[in-house]
């Protein structure tokens, strides 16, 4: 393993730890602002590597870098009928676990802390506290995308011809770098007389201002003649190439194949352009939607990870990955032959995508994820609003302790999936180079 791979892994790892720390700050700041007593702020799990106590809160780092947490007193409310008395725990296994957790939660409450417990805070304050973590990941992802798109810029294809293909090849032949032979037919662009530096201004009578527009019109046309208006050295010129139909990778999703797409045989001039804030927002929305769709397909993709781990099947580049897998991708980026600025951009984008994934995953409405607490707070808000509307007494706090059996099941599933992902990322990792 080269030192560049190690360096890339460490850079990504440190960025990920910073992301986790900021996620927990997203919980910590509103919790303290609303007066909740926070006893611990930790990055990682397991034994403590380092810690320091400031007033009532212990800040520290733990050995296992698979997440983080803040510890707030009184997360579970007492049973209203118990009135502070300990309940008999011999009422069944699950009931015993629930009451044990409830008792442990209340044991942290010291005299004078009664109004600083989490469960007593208004539902909207608890909502803000638990939304704060995922929101911090979304903000961080947006900032990282902004650094790439507004600071470095991205490659943008111009509607200007950079080169004309001499012949028609299949995608596979192009990927192998095969040269044109007498067995290949001339490309429509070469036959029609297109040249390098021709600026495409209209396709089929429709004006175009971008390469994407021109490509879309050409592909949609399919086989047959089409009018292509260009500017050559400032002079307008109309050419009529006869397009051929080919099965080609989709412009929106290269993994998909477009059937019978029109093929002209030109490549565009590509320039680097810095983008504005609106473009960053659009990109953020697009990747957020893709991340949500990937999360919805997560159970299906776990099956593919299992096959890759134990059957030697090829690992899908879009399959889920653990921290180990993402770190290996970071190392592969650092060790690639790409220019330094391209490596930096790729690492920043990887970290942005990981933050999006962390934010979206934590919104799943199941405990112990933030989404479970968010769902509980929203449900309490709905119940209280309904009671006010019906002029009824305010209902009691939503008792999330009743969801603890499901929580334990979710934790078990998460542990199994995490172990599977880490194992797969060791024995059959995702490789960007194929």
SS in 3 state form for 121-173? CCHHHHHHHHHHHHHHHHHHHHHHHHHHHHHHCEEEEEEEEEEECCECCCHHH
| Residues 375-387: tens digit of each pLDDT | 999 999 999 999 9
pLDDT of 89 above 60: no
Instruction: Give the pLDDT confidence score for residue 433 in this predicted structure.
Output: 65
Band of the pLDDT at 248, cuts 50, 70, 90?
confident
**Cα–Cα dist 407/243, whole Å:** 59
3-state class of 45 per DSSP? strand
Dig out the tokens for 197 from the structure: 């530096």
pLDDT of 317 above 90: no
**Cα–Cα dist 315/307, whole Å:** 8
| Residues 116-130: tens digit of each pLDDT | 999 999 999 999 999
User: Among 72, 82, 86, 83, which residue's Cα sits nearest to residue 119?
Assistant: 72
Q: Return the CATH class of domain 154-273.
A: mainly beta
| Residues 187-219: tens digit of each pLDDT | 899 999 999 999 999 999 999 999 999 999 999
Instruction: Give the pLDDT confidence score for residue 323 in this predicted structure.
Output: 85
Q: Based on the residue annotation, tell me whether 24 is a catalytic residue of this protein.
A: yes
Q: Are 102 and 76 in contact (CB under 8 A)?
A: yes
Beta-carbon contacts of 85 under 8 Å, excluding residues fewer than 6 positions away, are: none
pLDDT of 103 above 90: no
User: Which residue ranges does the chain devote to CATH 2.30.42.10?
Assistant: 154-273
**Cα–Cα dist 172/226, whole Å:** 26
Q: Cα–chain-centroid distance for residue 178?
A: 37
Residues in the chain: 434
Lowest mean pLDDT among 24-28, 104-108, 194-198, 258-262: 104-108
- Residues 24, 99, 332, 380: which is the catalytic one? 24
Lowest mean pLDDT among 78-87, 135-144, 165-174, 192-201: 78-87
- Global pTM? 0.84
Beta-carbon contacts of 363 under 8 Å, excluding residues fewer than 6 positions away, are: 134, 369, 370, 371, 374
Q: Are 426 and 420 in contact (CB under 8 A)?
A: no
DSSP result, 276-316: -HHHHHHHHHHHHHHHHHHHHTHHHHHHHHHHHHHT-PPPP
Lowest mean pLDDT among 227-231, 259-263, 360-364, 370-374: 259-263
How much is the average pLDDT of 124-146?
A: 97
**Cα–Cα dist 371/406, whole Å:** 14
Instruction: Give the pLDDT confidence score for residue 337 in this predicted structure.
Output: 83
Quote the percentage of the chain above a pLDDT of 90. 53
Provide the 8-state DSSP code for 248.
E
């Amino acid at each position: 393993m080269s030192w560049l791979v190690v360096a890339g892994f460490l850079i990504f790892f440190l960025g990920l730890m910073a992301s986790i720390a900021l996620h927990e700050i997203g919980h910590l700041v509103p919790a303290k602002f609303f007066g909740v007593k926070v006893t611990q702020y930790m990055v990682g799990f397991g034994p403590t590597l380092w810690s320091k106590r400031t007033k009532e809160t212990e800040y520290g780092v733990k050995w296992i870098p698979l997440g983080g947490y803040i510890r707030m007193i009184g997360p579970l409310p007492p049973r209203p009928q118990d009135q502070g008395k300990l309940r008999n725990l011999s009422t069944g296994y699950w009931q015993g676990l629930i009451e044990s957790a409830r008792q442990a939660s209340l044991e942290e409450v010291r005299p004078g802390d009664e109004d600083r417990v989490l469960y007593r805070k208004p539902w909207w304050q608890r909502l803000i506290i638990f939304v704060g973590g995922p929101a911090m990941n979304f903000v961080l992802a947006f900032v990282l995308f902004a650094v790439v798109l507004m600071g470095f810029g991205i490659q943008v294809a111009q509607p200007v011809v950079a080169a004309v293909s001499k012949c028609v090849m299949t995608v596979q032949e192009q990927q192998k770098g095969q040269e044109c032979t007498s067995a290949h037919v001339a490309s429509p662009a070469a036959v029609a007389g297109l040249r390098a530096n021709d600026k495409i201004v209209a396709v089929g009578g429709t004006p175009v201002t971008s390469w994407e527009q021109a490509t879309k019109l050409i592909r949609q046309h399919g086989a047959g003649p089409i009018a292509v208006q260009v500017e050559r050295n400032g002079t307008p010129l109309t050419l009529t190439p006869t397009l051929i139909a080919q099965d080609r990778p989709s412009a929106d999703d290269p993994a998909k194949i477009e059937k019978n797409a029109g093929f002209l045989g030109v490549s565009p001039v590509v320039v680097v352009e810095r983008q504005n804030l609106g473009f960053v927002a659009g990109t953020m929305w697009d990747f957020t939607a893709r991340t949500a769709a990937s999360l919805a397909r997560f159970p299906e993709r776990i099956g593919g990870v299992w096959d890759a781990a134990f059957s030697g099947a090829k690992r899908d580049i879009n399959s889920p990955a653990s921290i180990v897998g993402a770190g290996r991708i970071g190392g592969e980026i650092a060790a690639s032959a790409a220019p330094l600025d391209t490596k930096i951009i790729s690492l920043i984008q990887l970290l942005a995508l990981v933050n999006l994934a962390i934010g979206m995953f934590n919104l799943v409405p199941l405990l112990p994820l933030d989404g479970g607490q968010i769902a509980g707070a929203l449900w309490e808000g709905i119940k209280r609003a309904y009671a006010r509307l019906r002029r009824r007494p305010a209902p009691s706090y939503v008792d999330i302790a009743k969801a603890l059996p499901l929580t334990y099941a979710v934790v078990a599933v998460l542990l199994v999936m995490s172990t599977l992902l880490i194992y797969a990322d060791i024995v059959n990792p995702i490789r960007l180079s194929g």
